[in-house]
Amino acid sequence: MDNIKWTKKDLLALSELSKEEIELILETASSFKEISTREIKKVPALRGKTVVNLFYEPSTRTRVSFEIAAKRLSADVINIIAETSSVRKGESLIDTGKNLEALKIDIIVLRHNSSGAAHLLARNVGVSVVNAGDGWHEHPTQALLDIFTLKEKFSKIQGLNVTIIGDIAHSRVARSNIWGLTKLGANVCVCAPKELLPQDIEKLNVKATTDIDEALKDADCINVLRMQLERDERSVFPSALEYFKQYGITQERINKLKRKILIMHPGPLNRGVEISSEVADGENSLILEQVTNGIAVRMAVLYLVSQAK
Amino acid sequence: MRIIIKEGFIVDPINNFLNYADILIEEEKIKKIERKIEEPADLTILAKEKIVLSGLVDLHVHLRQPGREDKETILTATSASAKGGITTLLAMPNTEPPIDSEENLRLLKEIIKKDAKVEVLPSCTITLKREGKELVDFKRLKEEGVFVFTDDGSSIEDEDLMLQAMLKAKKEDVLLFLHCEDKSLSHKGVVNLGIISTRLGLRGIPKEAEYKRIERDLKLAQKTDCPIHITHISCKESVELIAEAKKKGIRVSCDTCPHYFSLTEDDLLDFDTNKKINPPLRTKEDVLAIKQALREGIIDCITSDHAPHTEHEKEVEFENAEFGTIGLETELSVAITELIETKIIDWKKLGELFCSNPAKILRIERGSLSPGKDANLIILDPKKEWVVRKEDFLSKSKNSAFLGKTLKGKVEYTIYKGKIIYEDKK
C-alpha cells in the first residue's frame, strides 16, 4: 500500500477513484481513528491550514463531523452557511470560491443542492475541494465511512452482500456507496418502490429490485436511506405510512431472516418511516459507529488532499 | 473586381459536378467555371489540393439581436459565419422582442442591412410572443418576404392550434419549422434520461419528449398536407418516424446538428455545461442512427443551432446553466472530421447537407456553383488540423461544446457576392 500516493487536489466523487485510492483513504482513516480516543484529541498534521465548510444546504451531522475532523488535525475551521452569506446577495459559487481562495484558505468542504457543484468549484479554484454532498450526485465521505464501518466488521469488502434500501433516485449516498462498494468487490443490491429507482441503475453493476424480501434474503448488511420527503416536488412518493408498511425495516422483518444482518443508516433518521426504533437502536445497528467513524474518514480525506500539492 | 480560383476541386451537387476546375468571378457573380481559365484578373487564388464549395446555408442560427446583444450581435454572428463558411443563414425569431410582427421584422431588417456580413434571412414566430396561444399574420409577413415560421425553443402544446397553424401555412404556402418537444415529458430535465442522468444525479429528458411530439406533428402534416421542417433531431426514434413519413409522402424535411453525430451523453461526465444542449446529447446508438440517416438522406441537412450564451450564464451549477452550444465556426469541420474522414459520407453528400438541400428547403437560389449565380463560395483545406480554442472564436460568446477538440478541415477563404469576407491568416 505504501507505493500508492494520493495525487488528487480534490475529492469529488467515488466514481472517479481507483480501488487503490479508496483503500488508501480507508487505511489512512484507520490510523487516524485512535486519535479520537486519546485524552488530548489532536495531532498537528494540518497545523497552519485553514478549512472552510461552505454549506448551501442545511446539515448538522456532516458539517460538525468535518469541523471536528479538521480541528483534530489542528486546522483552523470556518463555517459558512449560505443563507447568512453574500450568496443571498446573488454571488455565484465560483465568485464565492475565488474570494475564499483570495483569503488564502487551503481546503473548501462544499455541500450544495446542485449535482456537479463540487466539480464546478474545483475546476475554478486552485485550493482543494472536498465534496460533502452535491445534489443527488455523490456524497463520497459518507460512503467512505459506511465502507470503513463495514470493513471493521467484516474485515473485507470483497464478496460482501450489501443492500441499499430507500429513495435511490434522489440519494447521493446511494450513488457513492454503489461506486465504492462495487469497486472493492461487494455485491450490491438496491431496493425501492419503482418510482424511486432511477433509470438504468442496474448498469452500475448492481441488482435492482422492488421486492424487499428478495433484497434482504442474502444481505450481510443493509444501508437504510432516509425518505427525502422534501424532494418530492411532484408527489410521486408513497406516503410515509404506506412506505413503512411496504419497505420499513422492522424487527419482525429482520427476525424472519433467521440470521444476523447489520444495519446502517446515513442519518438523520425518520423513525417509523424507513426504520423502526427497535431496529435503529438494536444490537445490530451500526448507526452510531458510523458517526464516530465519520471523523476518522474525514480526517483522512482532509489530510490526503492537503498533501497532494 | 475579377478573381480567379485556380486548380481547386469543385464540389457542386446540384450540377452534379465534382472535378478539378478554375472559377472566374466577376463583380458579384460567377462568370465561368472551366477546366482551365487563362485570363487577366485582379486576384488569383491558387486552390491546389483545396476544395471549392458553395457557401453554406445554415437554417438554424440564434443571432440574439435585437435584445440580447450581450450574447451575440448580427455583426459578430455574421463574422463568425464568414469564418465558418456560411454565406446564408436563417435567423431564429426568439429575440427580445420576438419577430412576430411587421414592426419587429422591420427593426430586424434594419440591423441586418447595417451590420450583416453574410446573407441573413429572417424567420418569424408561429404564435404571438411565442406564447403558443395566437397565430401571427402569416399572410402579411409573407408579403414582407418571410417564408419560414417557427416558435423555436418551444413547441406549440395546443394540438388544435398547431392544426390551425398548418392549415394556414398550407394556404399561404409558407414553411413551418418545428422544434419538437413535449414539455410535460422533458419537464425540468437537463440531460438525456438513462444511465448518465442516473450517474450524475441530474434530471433526465426522455427521448419520448422529442419523438412523441414529432409523431403528433407528422400526423397533423399528413392531415393538412402542410410542408414542415423538423429541426435538430437527436435520436434514433425520430429518424425512424421521419423515414416512415417520407415514405408515406408526407411533406417533411429535417436537420440535425454536429453535436448529435459527434458527442454522446458520456461526454457529460465532468458536468461540462457547454455540452448542456436541448435536445440533450443522447447515446452511442443514437449517434450511429443519426450518421446512418445523414448518409441515407433521411436527414436533409446539417444546421448549427448556434446558441450563444455569456460565460456567467454557462459557468454555473449544471441545472442552472442555459442550454446550447455555439456552432457557426465549427460545424463544417466537425462534419469533415466525423463524417468525411470516417467515410460515412462523401464530399458530394456533404455539399448536399450543407448547401444544396437547405437552399431547396428555403426555395432560394443558393447552394450551387453555376455561371451567372451570385459568387458565394468557400475554399477549404480538407487536410488542415486545428484545435478549437476559446480565444479564436469570432462569435461574442465562447460556449462551444467542442472546446479543446482537434478538428480536421478548415475554411481558407469565404467569398460572398464576389467579395472576400474571410481569409484564414494561418
A interface test, pick of B188, B190, B198 with most A CB neighbours within 10 Å: B198
The pLDDT assigned to A164 comes to 98
Contact A115 B312 (CB under 8 A): no
Q: What is the pLDDT of residues B280-329, one digit of tens each?
A: 999 999 999 999 999 999 999 999 999 999 999 999 999 999 999 999 99
Asked if residue B426 has pLDDT above 70, the reply is no
User: Taking residues B335-358, what's their average pLDDT?
Assistant: 98
Interface with A, mutate which of B271, B275, B276 (most A CBs under 10 A): B271
**Residues of chain A contacting B195 with CB distance shorter than 8 Å:** 199-200, 203-204
What pLDDT band is residue A227 in, cutting at 50, 70 and 90? confident
Starting at the earlier edge strand, list the strands of the sheet with A107-112: A76-81, A50-55, A107-112, A128-134
Q: What is the nearest CA distance from A249 to chain B, expressed in angstroms?
A: 25
Q: What is the mean pLDDT of residues B28-47?
A: 96
Q: Which of A200, A232, A235 to mutate to test the interface with B (most CBs of B within 10 A)?
A: A200
B260–chain A nearest CA distance, Å: 21
| Residues of chain A with C-beta less than 8 angstroms from the C-beta of B184 | none
Res. A87: pLDDT tops 90: no
Q: Please list every residue in chain B whose beta carbon sits closer than 8 Å to the beta carbon of residue A172.
A: 201
Domain ranges of chain B: 2-51+374-423, 55-362
Q: How confident is the model at residue A15 (pLDDT cuts 50, 70, 90)?
A: very high
Regarding predicted confidence, which is higher, B416 or A84? B416
**Which of A117, A138, A200 has the CB atom closest to B198's CB atom?**
A200
pLDDT digits (tens, 9 = 90+) for B349-407: 999 999 999 999 999 999 999 999 999 999 999 999 999 999 999 999 999 999 999 99
The phi, psi pair for B255, rounded to 5°, reads: -135, 165
**A111, A45 in Cβ contact below 8 A?**
no
CB contact under 8 A, B195 and A200: yes
Cβ proximity of A43 and A120 under 8 Å: no
User: How confident is the model at residue A269, as a pLDDT?
Assistant: 92
Q: How far is B119 from chain A (nearest CA, A)?
A: 39
Please, which pLDDT band fits residue A233 given cuts at 50, 70 and 90?
A: low
Question: Which chain A residues touch B191 with a CB distance below 8 Å?
Answer: none
Which candidate from B197, B199, B320 shows the least CB-CB separation from A15? B199
Compute the distance between CA of residue B211 and CA of residue B182 in angstroms, rounded to an integer. Answer: 9
Q: Tell me which H or E stretch contains B184.
A: helix B183-186
> Over chain B, what is the mean pLDDT?
97
Instruction: Summarize the confidence of residues B53-65 as an average pLDDT.
Output: 98
Q: Is B61 exposed, middle or buried (0-12, 13-18, 19+ CB in 10 A)?
A: buried
Give every CB contact of residue A71 below 8 A, 6+ residues apart in sequence.
A42, A77
User: In Å, what is the CA distance from A144 to each residue of A18, A168, A299, B66?
Assistant: 13, 18, 12, 52
Residues of B labelled as active-site residues: 305
**How far B141 CA lies from chain A's nearest CA (Å)?**
42
Q: Do A136 and B201 touch (CB under 8 A)?
A: yes
Domain covering A14-137+294-307 assigned CATH 3.40.30.10 in the classification = no
Q: Is the pLDDT of residue B35 over 90?
A: yes
Chain B hits for A115, CB-CB cut-off 8 Å, are: 200-202, 271, 318-319
Is A172 in contact with B202 (Cβ distance < 8 A)?
no
Pick from A257, A117, A262, A265: which is nearest to A177 by CA?
A265
Q: What pLDDT was estimated at residue A2?
A: 54
Cα–Cα dist A25/A18, whole Å: 11
CB atoms within 10 A of CB B131: 13
Instruction: Read off the pLDDT of each residue in B214-222 and give the average, rounded to a whole number.
Output: 98
Is A84's pLDDT higher than 80? no
Q: What is the pLDDT of residue A232?
A: 63
If pLDDT is split at 50, 70 and 90, which confidence band does A3 have? low
Three-state SS for B336?
helix
C-alpha span between A26 and B363 (Å, rounded): 67
- At A234, list the grid cell: 411532484
As assigned by CATH, the class of the B2-51+374-423 domain is mainly beta
CB contact (8 A) between residue A137 and residue B317: no
> Contacts of residue A135 in chain B, CB cutoff 8 Å?
201-202, 319
- What number does CATH give the domain A140-290? 3.40.50.1370
ipTM greater than cut 0.90: yes
Contact flag A199-B194 (C-beta cutoff 8 Å): yes
pLDDT at B193: 98
| Closest chain B residue to A122, measured at CA | B270
For residue B318, give the nearest of A15, A116, A138 by CB distance.
A116
How much of chain B, in percent, has pLDDT values that exceed 90? Answer: 100
CATH 3.40.50.1370 region(s) of chain A? 14-137+294-307, 140-290
Whether residue A308 has pLDDT greater than 90: no
Strand B56-61: give its sheet, edge to edge.
Answer: B56-61, B86-91, B119-122
Whether residue B96 has pLDDT greater than 70: yes
Q: What is the pLDDT of residue A239?
A: 85
pLDDT band at residue A231 using 50, 70 and 90 as cut-offs: low
Q: Compute the distance between CA of residue A304 and CA of residue A69 in angstroms, rounded to an integer.
A: 13
Residue B33, SS3?
Answer: strand
- In this structure, of A89-98, A139-148, B270-279, the range with the lowest mean pLDDT score is A89-98
B201–A contact, CB cutoff 8 A: yes
What is the homologous superfamily of the domain B55-362 according to CATH?
A: Metal-dependent hydrolases (3.20.20.140)
